Structure 1
């Protein structure tokens, strides 16, 4: 009989593989030693420290960047990590790196099995390469020039019907996202063309969902495989957003109690 603790450990390892496929890096140093790095934004320091508590390593801030990095170089910790995520690594970019380290230690690299909607891997990948956002497609001239978070909060508060919530995962590999789409059973995939004048000099693909049904199905998935990054805060507001939209509070007169509910939501979203 499989113990509950064993199931939880397996789920955590699968989630970790998703995070690694998004933000991790396996490599052999010039000195010939196996190395692992996992880099996140400073807003996800708590998540990175929780990973460090489980698998070891050193966490340091990256000089000149709003990012922090977990680095592992001790042999026993690297081997433990490889065994934890073996059978779960599937990113076309990360897989060759993983194989290289497995070969370095004589470990048989196990290819990942097809994804399912019970697999916490997708939650880990979302923690690394996902986003949940509300875009505003129209704003007044006065609101458009307002800077910072306060400006974003004001534009959303007064956006009326010109706002749209979107959940997405970004990747350079279309087939990779197709597998995620098939596992979840919903969402769409779009291509963003390369533009050498922007931060996207290569083609990028997005799996995304934006309608109420699909977003709430995503929330059901996350309820099974919880998020551990800062994105969790906005996920908790997802159902509230669609409830407010359904009741049309965002279209109410600014002097009404209904509008105050929408205003409070906007403040929480951009807190």
Structure 2
């Protein structure tokens, strides 16, 4: 008889999901809107081990209607079982099911078809998995953003050093780097100091401030950061000598594009932005960069357009400049992706407002109008930057 019952159990096992009652109770598997039936089978020998009770579970669907006969044979008092914590409106166990009284603590019957509110363990684990995947994506994205910003900072720094910096080797064979800027641009030198160390000190007798880095560890870090972006004719020779001293492979300058922050670093060093109205007709906005060597300003004309001319003042220098709205808007857009870190950046961000008032002819509106007052207010803000 036991063998026959075991055979029937094996057949059912092929079509149904079997779970042991002990596991069912231990892990508290969740049950949802599906109508699920359990059958209590007593005293079945399996692998020579006596199992007093185990639960046979399968979903009650049309596909398994043929199992009604078998389930009725095994358990005439078939009932629905749910865990109390997962259900609402649970009634007491039917006293007629006397063979279930020993399990009264764990299994309850006559449960309503109320929608279950708890998530099952599978969905819970799936949510955790999805959250981990999302965290990985966010982490990679943040790392990518950080890496990109770090590259642009190094490009900007190379441009600043090309314009206002200096590499040198002392008599004691120590390499150092110095950058001297206007006093109002101290903030950008502090950013460099935070990354590479060094000192920032006021220069005596002039309205300027100097950054100096001379410790070997900091110099190695800085040289590796700007390597491949130093391109100033004079600075390139100095940089090459420092690379040899520190045993660092020198990299030739990479090709410049509109996405390279070197332009803004060099602009922060040797650039200007201003407008004038000498003829009292209309203001003329000019963005320019100056240097002693034509080669060092030629990059701007290649990428941003404009013109280059030679100025005899101050022992002579080459000056790149752009003077029309179209080219100004190109440089304005570039400043958004590679923003200036000097005080000049405040004026660069005012280009859009300048042309807004310019197109409205605010500069020559009647003096008693709000439009002219807006122009005066803009002019005051411009001069304070």
Instruction: Give the structure-2-normalised TM-score.
Output: 0.61
* 1:205-216 equivalence runs, <5 A: 205-216=318-329
User: Is residue 115–residue 180 contact of structure 1 (8 Å, CA) maintained in 2?
Assistant: no
Q: 2:212 is paired with a residue of what secondary structure?
A: strand
User: Is residue 173–residue 205 contact of structure 1 (8 Å, CA) maintained in 2?
Assistant: yes
- Give unpaired runs (5+ residues) of structure 2: 1-139
* 1:56-95 equivalence runs, <5 A: 56-95=197-236
Relative contact order: is structure 1 or structure 2 higher (C-alpha 8 Å, sep ≥ 6)?
Answer: 1
- Give unpaired runs (5+ residues) of structure 1: 139-158
Q: Cα deviation per residue 1:202-248 (whole Å; 9 max; x = unaligned)?
A: x2111111111110111011111111100111112111111111111
Q: Quote the Cα distance in structure 1 between the aligned partners of 2:278 and 2:282.
A: 5
The answer for the alignment partner of 1:191 in structure 2 is 310
RMSD across aligned positions (CA): 1.3
Which residue of the other structure, out of 364, 369, 379, is the alignment partner of 1:251?
A: 364
Q: Quote the Cα distance in structure 2 between the aligned partners of 1:117 and 1:133.
A: 22
Q: Cα deviation per residue 1:84-132 (whole Å; 9 max; x = unaligned)?
A: 0000000001000000100111111111112111111101111111110
The answer for the alignment partner of 1:137 in structure 2 is 278
Q: Indicate the structure (1 or 2) with the bigger Cα radius of gyration.
A: 2
User: Is residue 228–residue 254 contact of structure 2 (8 Å, CA) maintained in 1?
Assistant: yes
The answer for the alignment partner of 1:52 in structure 2 is 193
Q: 2:162 is paired with a residue of what secondary structure?
A: helix
The answer for the alignment partner of 1:261 in structure 2 is 374
Question: After TM superposition, which residue ranges in structure 1, 4 or more long, deviate above 2 angstroms?
Answer: 1-4
The answer for the alignment partner of 1:97 in structure 2 is 238
User: Is residue 282–residue 363 contact of structure 2 (8 Å, CA) maintained in 1?
Assistant: no
Q: Quote the Cα distance in structure 2 between the aligned partners of 1:108 and 1:162.
A: 53
Q: 1:3 is paired with a residue of what secondary structure?
A: helix
Q: Quote the Cα distance in structure 2 between the aligned partners of 1:258 and 1:178.
A: 40
Query: How many Å apart are 1:20 and its aligned residue?
Result: 0.6
The answer for the alignment partner of 1:165 in structure 2 is 285
Q: 2:233 is paired with a residue of what secondary structure?
A: coil
User: Is residue 116–residue 183 contact of structure 1 (8 Å, CA) maintained in 2?
Assistant: yes
Which residue of the other structure, out of 238, 242, 254, is the alignment partner of 2:355?
A: 242
Q: Quote the Cα distance in structure 2 between the aligned partners of 1:114 and 1:183.
A: 11
